[in-house]
Each structure stands twice: as structure tokens, then as C-alpha cells.
Amino acid sequence: MKNIKLKMARVEKDLTQEELADRVGVTRQTIGMIEAGNYNPTLNLCIAICKALDRTLDDLFWAEDQPETDN
């Protein structure tokens, strides 16, 4: 499940994946995979992304139709 909300929040801030990655302290690949959806980031990284994009966890990482309850 691609994280389209994250991508939209990023482009709305006019940031590239690499710029966001720099601000958040990870590599652009990590951001890319989170947006692509085949990834399970840590909470601290999610929070850092939210703060970089002026959003909250629910804004970017919460979906009403959550996929599975796997850890």
C-alpha cells in the first residue's frame, strides 16, 4: 500500500525525496521505500517526517482501512 498522503505532503512542501531524507536524517532510499509502501519504518522516523512536513502521525500514517495486524 503506497503512502500517497506522505508523497502529497512532501511535494506540497516542494521537497524532493533526498531533501526530506536529509532533514530527517536518513537516506533517500528509505524515504522512497516508505512512499512506495513496502516498508515498515520506526516510530521515531515517522515522527521526524511528520515534524519536517508539519503534519501529525494520523495525517500521514493512519488509514481507516488498515491492511493487516502484523508487527
Partner DNA sequence: ACAATATGTCAACTATATCTTGCAATAAGA
Partner DNA sequence: TCTTATTGCAAGATATAGTTGACATATTGT
Pick the binder of DNA from 3, 6, 9, 30 (CB under 7 A): 30
Q: What residues contact residue 49 under an 8 Å CB cut-off, 6+ apart?
A: 6, 20, 24, 31, 34, 41, 60
Pick the binder of DNA from 5, 13, 23, 41 (CB under 7 A): 41
Pick the binder of DNA from 35, 52, 53, 55 (CB under 7 A): 35
Q: Are 68 and 25 in contact (CB under 8 A)?
A: no
Q: Are 34 and 6 in contact (CB under 8 A)?
A: yes
* Residues 15-44 as x/- pattern, contact with a second copy by CB under 8 A: ---------xxx-------------xxxxx
Closest distance to a second copy from the beta carbon of 15 (Å)? 15
